[in-house]
Structure 1
Amino acid sequence: MNTSQYYLSCEHLEYNVVFFTDRIRVCCGDEIRRSNSLLPGIAIDDINLDNLDDLLSEFRQYKEQIVRDINSNKPIICKGCKYLRKDYWEKSATFKLVNFSTDYPCNLKCSYCFQNSKDYNYKTNYDIYKLISKVLQSKFISKQTQFIYACGELGIHPKAQELIQFFEGNKVSFFTNATKYFESMHQLICKPQNSMLVSIDSGTKETYRKIKGADLFETVCENLCCYAKNNGNVILKYILTHGNTSMDDLNGFIDFCVKANIHNIRIVYDWNITVANSQMQNAAIYLLHKAKKRKINCYVDESFTCERM
């Protein structure tokens, strides 16, 4: 029997959860909603983490109320969001996507990173290791649940190996800067429906050092070549920002993808730039055409998993 209902909602409200620094959130917002503090969510800390299923039950009820408010035309932040659509929605007993996106230190200083902004004042209220171990035991998780690990830089976490091994047998995408190579991560991304997303944002070591704040371009490229071996699903991201739109960088980036046997890339604009200038727009078009000629899949949305070639 079909139990779906037709109403205004989105994938995030229906099926997803984001574990942010100080709260569980419905989503990560979009490019026109820059105030993280206004995004829907409920508080989380080490205390209520001990009763995670109760907290997730409360969170699901919270999301259901948001959907009712949207369909009652109440003035809430979700109103007018581009992800909302009228559709038939089937209720799910488990989450389809779990995004771990809490604060954790990073060994890079990316020019566009929101943690470097003067308005950023969030602080993690719970232990990442404890969180993930609890989530994987939750009744709201199934073998079909897709995970994103985007907590600072995994490579410098003291329990990096254990965290990677947590996801054995699950669907996972690691968001990392690839400044460190882990054989265990490589083995995972060689399996179907797993991937690694790395923002390299350059095609020359000079620009990488300027954008990323560290002289690690050659190390990262070497690690990426290793991760891409044996059909490792590496997705390279190019965040177009001030100073990385030269022909040397754009050509160098595509040439490296070919050299490393990387088949999937994402092109996005710097989150902090309200309107991309013509130079950035032309750079995006150039990358798209160059990628197509080299038979590289190019994604311009929020995709974190890509089909293998």
Structure 2
Amino acid sequence: MRTLILYGAGKNAVKELENVRKAGYSPVSFCDADPDKQGTNYLGLPVNSLETIKEAYGDFFLWVTLASENKYNAFDYLIRQGIWTEQILNYEEYSRYEGCSLLETQLVVDQNSLFHCCYVGETRNDPPKLQWREQIEDTVNAFLESRNQLIKQIKHGEVEKTPCAGCPSIKEGAYSDVKGISSLSFGFDSPCNLACYYCVHRNAVNKISVEAESQIRSFAWKEFIRCLEQKGQLAESSTITLAAGELTCDPRKKDILDTVEQYHLAILTNAVLYDDRIAALIARPGSSSTVSVDAGTKETYRKVKGLDAFERVFANLRKYASQGSNLTLKYIFLPENCNTENVEGFIQNTVTCGVKNIYISDNIFRTKPHSDEDMEQMAKMVTLARKNDIQVILGDEIGEDKQRLIQYL
């Protein structure tokens, strides 16, 4: 049997490694084009350049671990480097054109509509939204027709005629010839046990409209997901995101988890309540949870989140981490928390509870650029995280300030 090499030593490799092993393969190395990764180890395997792989193994197969459009761009790169399509075990047909990876692979669902993205970086254009039809199958059919038409318009140079005009996510790249949903996000305005003052979904704890609650409770989760499966739009390797509201206090928690547990899950929780089942689900390869903490002190947490639960949250995070849960702690920079005390407190508590990933975000309603002092605090958080071997993700919400941040590091 020829040697198997994994191409792409990144976050999605955790999920793909599971798929590779399910298929009965035992990879011997990663291959990555990033010089900073070459010569290191990832997930217990060495990371080498393509040139090193060719010299060391000669006759080998590749499995591309990258996600979404990155996977197809990797196919394109490898073929240009002389790799045959037959050598790539998970190769899929693709084409190069002007497009958008979110449009090609994502579906966001709330109680009012279906849409392709919630882009909030350099543009504030609303994505085209499709209202729910009376029948779920009619809704799914209408969504697929709308999506495919939008892809076609952008592909043929008519992006200015669409709601996507001016969006920086539109770019030339390699996209799959077979359209499907790799990321399905449910954003129902369900009950929550916090009252974060920046939240777009509610203004007070557990305040949700009677109409919205009726729609949420009557939503046929199983029928909707099965309909997508039957139309070839959803596979077991897809990721389902559960967002908006708080799943741990949702009365339909069991039914929801029963319906989606076969998929990779991304669960957004505030960790005020601990849940054993969620801990087990997000400990699986390819599944995870993001917890928006937004504070480094008890006082700031109470101001921002509306509840005195800072210590309880970090106690629960320690429990999740001890169960092997894949966690990322999110920090939305706000006027209340953009100071040394909160930045240092957040990193210190992150280290103490054993979490190795943080996501730095921004208030999407911010109307003016960050001050130099703000940027210094962001840079301090990045520096402290790196000193403690914590991986830092800079969210798209930061927008143009991403480039400014580099100057402060």
Partner of 2:314: 221
Distance 2:124 2:197 in 1: 17
Shift of residue 159 of structure 1? 2.0
For residues 209 and 276 of structure 1, do their structure 2 counterparts lie closer, same or farther at Cα, with a shift above 3 Å needed?
same
Calculate the TM-score normalised by the size of structure 2. 0.67
For residues 198 and 73 of structure 1, do their structure 2 counterparts lie closer, same or farther at Cα, with a shift above 3 Å needed?
closer
Q: Which runs of 5+ in 2 are unaligned?
A: 1-84, 86-91, 398-409
Amino acid at match of 1:31: G
Question: Is contact 1:165-1:184 (8 Å) kept?
Answer: no
What secondary structure does 1:268 align onto? strand
Partner of 1:134: 223
Amino acid at match of 2:215: Y
Question: Is contact 1:264-1:298 (8 Å) kept?
Answer: yes
Distance 2:287 2:357 in 1: 13
Shift of residue 194 of structure 1? 0.6
What secondary structure does 2:320 align onto? helix
2:132 matched to 1:48? Answer: no
Matched residues, number:
295
Partner of 2:96: 6
Seq. identity, %: 26
For residues 76 and 122 of structure 1, do their structure 2 counterparts lie closer, same or farther at Cα, with a shift above 3 Å needed?
farther
Amino acid at match of 2:224: V
Mean Cα deviation higher: 26-35 or 211-220: 26-35
Question: Is contact 1:25-1:39 (8 Å) kept?
Answer: yes
Decide which structure has the larger Cα Rg and report it. 2
Per-residue deviation, residues 143-173 of structure 1 (Å, max 9, x unmatched): 0111100031112211223323333221001
Question: Is contact 1:269-1:276 (8 Å) kept?
Answer: no
Distance 1:24 1:97 in 2: 13
Question: Is contact 2:195-2:306 (8 Å) kept?
Answer: yes
Question: Is contact 1:161-1:184 (8 Å) kept?
Answer: no
For residues 78 and 205 of structure 1, do their structure 2 counterparts lie closer, same or farther at Cα, with a shift above 3 Å needed?
same
For residues 128 and 62 of structure 1, do their structure 2 counterparts lie closer, same or farther at Cα, with a shift above 3 Å needed?
farther
Distance 2:258 2:311 in 1: 27
Distance 1:27 1:122 in 2: 26
Shift of residue 116 of structure 1? 4.7
Shift of residue 57 of structure 1? 2.6
| 1:211-250 → structure 2 map (5 Å cutoff) | 211-250=304-343
Q: Which of the residues 25, 31, 46 maps onto 2:121? A: 31
Shift of residue 129 of structure 1? 7.0
Partner of 2:174: 88
For residues 122 and 113 of structure 1, do their structure 2 counterparts lie closer, same or farther at Cα, with a shift above 3 Å needed?
farther
Shift of residue 212 of structure 1? 0.5
| 1:152-301 → structure 2 map (5 Å cutoff) | 152-274=245-367, 275-301=369-395
What secondary structure does 2:215 align onto? coil
Q: Which runs of 5+ in 1 are unaligned?
A: 304-309
Mean Cα deviation higher: 132-141 or 223-232: 132-141
Shift of residue 209 of structure 1? 0.1
Q: Which of the residues 158, 167, 189 maps onto 1:103? A: 189
Question: Is contact 2:280-2:323 (8 Å) kept?
Answer: no
Calculate the TM-score normalised by the size of structure 1. 0.87
What secondary structure does 1:231 align onto? coil
Mean Cα deviation higher: 7-16 or 61-70: 61-70
What secondary structure does 2:271 align onto? coil
For residues 34 and 213 of structure 1, do their structure 2 counterparts lie closer, same or farther at Cα, with a shift above 3 Å needed?
farther
Shift of residue 281 of structure 1? 1.6
Partner of 1:307: none
For residues 82 and 226 of structure 1, do their structure 2 counterparts lie closer, same or farther at Cα, with a shift above 3 Å needed?
same
Amino acid at match of 2:392: C
Amino acid at match of 1:115: H
What secondary structure does 2:314 align onto? helix
Distance 1:100 1:302 in 2: 20
Partner of 1:19: 109
2:232 matched to 1:144? Answer: no
For residues 228 and 123 of structure 1, do their structure 2 counterparts lie closer, same or farther at Cα, with a shift above 3 Å needed?
farther
Distance 1:106 1:33 in 2: 29
Per-residue deviation, residues 54-82 of structure 1 (Å, max 9, x unmatched): 42232122012222333224332211211
For residues 259 and 42 of structure 1, do their structure 2 counterparts lie closer, same or farther at Cα, with a shift above 3 Å needed?
same
2:194 matched to 1:78? Answer: no
